[in-house]
Structure 1
Amino acid sequence: MESSISSVSTSSKSKRLLFDRRYGWVIDEWKDPSEEALAGGRGMFCILPIAKAAVKMASESVSLAANSVVISKSS
């Protein structure tokens, strides 16, 4: 279906000239996913998942502490 004509490689990017029956000749560029993930971010994050994880961790800590107190008193 696709045939590679030429390729150019660098450390984190790779370009190939491919023929696709649907689109014709296209340049396929592979980028390192870790660099792409950091490139689009602007240092923003969503507080809701962080708050949910913090509340869950706090409730588990309280439950663990309460269970350890109950177990130590019954021994």
Structure 2
Amino acid sequence: MRTGIVMSYNQIAGVGFIKDSNKQKIRFYNEDKTIVFKRFDVVQFDISFVKSSLQAVNVMPIRDKKGNIVSMTVNIN
């Protein structure tokens, strides 16, 4: 599995882009409507050719020990 960060996600369409550790932008489609991705969520995924294009598949958010989705956002007070 590869690791990356969600750079954009359209919840209505269920489509987004992930930037992986190679700085490659990869499109993904979310068919599991119970998972809602947000920008900067850290995810694991596989790569596959779908309709002659490279896409991320089996995209799953990485969770911490408490079960919260790991995000690269920073809270500044």
Relative contact order higher in (CA < 8 Å, ≥ 6 apart): 2
Higher-Rg member (1/2): 1
Q: Normalising to structure 2: TM-score of the pair?
A: 0.30
As a proportion of its length, which structure holds more helix?
A: 1
Q: Normalising to structure 1: TM-score of the pair?
A: 0.31
As a proportion of its length, which structure holds more strand?
A: 2
